[in-house]
Amino acid sequence: MRKFLIATHGTFAGGIRSSLEMIIGHQEHLHVIQAYVEENKGLEEELTALLGGLSENDELVIFTDLLGGSVTNQVLRHALKENVHIVSGINLPLLVDVLLADPDEPVTGVIANAIQAAKDQMVYVNDVVTSQQPDDFQ
């Protein structure tokens, strides 16, 4: 079974889960860790509990907010486990694509495709609007 974790600094994880579930509905296998919300409370305890609950048939996709940040750095020690996959620099399109992917599709391909699609969603809209002809908006 494919499980998911969003781990971020502060309450970003809860906010992005709220938006995600507004778009695609409640996700039973989606977990959230909001690090440092309480003074000096990291994520190791919650992460260890979640990893301890994985069976050998489970895979866990961990999404973090900032490459090189303390949350990602703490998660990295689990990166070499065969059933753990870490994606940093998350955004909503990426999460939607990965969570809605066919669970029978290999997770590495799902992640690669979702990262490319998420990159394609990042657009400076002003350039798009100013490159359009005035007739395009009528």
Looking at residues 30-58, what average pLDDT do you find?
A: 89
How much of the chain exceeds pLDDT 70, in percent?
Answer: 95
Token digits for 55? Answer: 């069976």
Which residues are CB-contacts of 89 (< 8 A; sequence separation ≥ 6)? 64, 65, 66, 67
**pLDDT of 133:** 63
Task: Return the SS3 of 9.
Answer: strand
Kind plus residue range of the DSSP H or E element containing 30: strand 30-35
Domains, the chain, with CATH or none: 2-137 (3.40.50.510)
Pairing status of strand 84-88 against strand 2-9: unpaired
* pLDDT exceeds cutoff 70 at 25: yes
> Which carries the bigger pLDDT value, residue 108 or residue 136?
108
d(CA 131, CA 65): 32
Give the pLDDT of residue 123.
94
User: Is residue 42 scored above 90 in pLDDT?
Assistant: no
pLDDT-derived band at 41 (thresholds 50, 70, 90) equals confident
**Residue 90's closest CA among 45, 48, 131, 32?**
32
Are 116 and 94 in contact by the 8 Å Cβ rule? The answer is: no
Rg (CA), the chain: 17
Residue 135 has pLDDT above 70, yes or no: no
Q: Is the C-alpha dihedral spanning 26, 53, 40, 8 positive or negative?
A: negative
Q: Has residue 138 got a pLDDT over 80?
A: no
